[in-house]
Amino acid sequence: MRIRKVEAWWVRVPIEERRQHRSDFGRTVTFDAAIVRIETDDGIVGWGEGKNAAGSSGSYGALVHLLNHEIGPRLIGRDPADISPIWEMLYNGVRHEMAATAGHAMPELARRGLTVAAISAVDIALWDILGKSLGQPVWRLLGGRKAERLPAYASGGWADADTIADQLRGYIEAGGFKAVKMRVGAMDGTPHVSAERVRAARAALGPDTDLMVDAHGTYTVAEAKRFCRLVADCDLAWFEEPVIADDKPGMAEVRAASHIPIAAGESEATRFAFRDLAVLKAADILQPDPAFCGGITEAMRIAALASAFNLRFAPHLWAGAPCFFSGLHVCAASPASFIIEFSLGANPMIHDLIEEEVRVTDGMIAIPEKPGLGFTVREDFLRAHAIGGP
Ligand SMILES: [Mg+2]
């Protein structure tokens, strides 16, 4: 089995006005992703996804160019089952043979960002191919699954203090969720406005529903501490990205100052960055995004790090289908996982891009049974919304 063709597209799906929401990322008028299709010489097709922007929308021209014109050509003729050697080849660049012999990394200068997003897309597609070629779901190749269904949490919560109760109750009615996450931070101006919204949410949910908050890294350390004090009696299950990813010592300071568990990692890539989060005691819950951190291969390594440091693992899965399904398989196979992020904003990159229905029932989501990642891309839909491609 050899790789015959690598094609990537910038897929941009408009979101109808009544389903748009506004956060610190602005109004989400589109859902964008870089989607890669890798085909083998025996006709197996694997799908992957790379990401370079938080929120739903973003510019994917450069990432798609990288996949089509720089990384893609290096994969032609390779055995797609060599997933880890291909990862290291792309990460270590011209010194990859030296690195393989020496037994330690010698990465390219471009060792984060677009490069690792592109590696992520390739890695996800290669796991999909391996599963399909063996007739096995990816979780089985990762060592098996710990459950047939895992708990999911409703990820959304942008409404103001007067309407947040209705918004979160709506999520719970739709999927039976036992946990919900709402947005806080710069979109509210000052910490006390966010705190009022959180108190309204807690009052509406009662004590038995887990409530998490996500500041998207928009507080200073001082603001994050103020916010923690203001919501100290709200029993938050986690406080996500209190400060920017580039201030890990600051995040550790917030964690040390509060009893609220800190979650972080959607803005981090590779095991090396997550090692730093763990060593600096900056987070309780590691949240790699499979389409940004380095794919399924790297997400599994990060999950192992979480377990080794007695931390927990809850990947960032606000994403399209290839990334979201990757998260399902990785969580199914990881001892440190405990919950799946399920986006409650409009998400055509899951619900319209693939044929399968993705649903949460009684707060639980099924781990896919089909070979590979377990979804079928509607190629006509993809091509109809591709604004950049090979
Ligand atoms: Mg987040």
Domain with CATH 3.30.390.10 in the chain: 3-135+379-388
Ligand 1 center to 207 CA (angstroms): 23
pLDDT per residue of the chain (390 residues) written in tens, 0 to 9: 999 999 999 999 999 999 898 888 888 899 999 999 999 999 999 999 999 988 788 999 999 999 999 999 999 999 999 999 999 999 999 999 999 999 999 999 999 999 999 999 999 999 999 999 999 999 999 999 999 999 999 999 999 999 999 999 999 999 999 999 999 999 999 999 999 999 999 999 999 999 999 999 999 999 999 999 999 999 999 999 999 999 999 999 999 999 999 999 999 999 999 999 999 999 999 999 999 999 999 999 999 999 999 999 999 999 999 999 999 999 999 999 999 999 998 899 999 999 999 999 999 999 999 999 999 999 999 999 999 889
Helix axes 114-134, 321-333, angle to 10 degrees: 70
Class of domain 3-135+379-388: alpha beta
Measure 240 CA to ligand 1 centroid, in angstroms.
6
Between the CA of 321 and the centroid of ligand 1 the distance, in Å, is: 17
179 Cα: distance to centroid of ligand 1 (angstroms):
15
For 69, the token pair is 């014109």
CATH classification code of 141-366? 3.20.20.120
CA-based torsion, 353, 151, 121, 217: positive or negative: positive
Task: State the pLDDT at residue 54.
Answer: 80
Angle at 94 between CA 92 and CA 95, to 5 degrees: 60
Q: Which residue has the tokens 């591709």?
A: 386
d(CA 320, CA 381): 13
Amino acid at site 129:
I
- Let me know if 36 is exposed, middle or buried by CB neighbors in 10 A (0-12, 13-18, 19+): buried
Is 91:107 a contact under the CB 8 Å cutoff? Answer: yes
Inter-axis angle of helices 221-230 and 191-205, nearest 10: 30
CB distance 212 to 238 below 8 Å: yes
Using a CB cutoff of 5 Å, list residues around ligand 1, an ion: 214, 240
Determine contact, residues 232/259, Cβ cutoff 8 Å: yes
Question: How far, in Å, is the centroid of ligand 1 from the Cα of 252?
Answer: 17
Ligand 1 mean position, distance from CA 366 (Å): 22
* 12: enclosing H helix or E strand: strand 3-14
Query: From the CA of 314, how far away is ligand 1's center (Å)?
Result: 11
Residue 137 and residue 139: Cα distance in Å, rounded? Answer: 6
**Strands 364-366, 149-155: pairing kind:** antiparallel
What's the pLDDT at 367? 98
Q: Pinpoint the residues of the chain covered by CATH 3.20.20.120.
A: 141-366
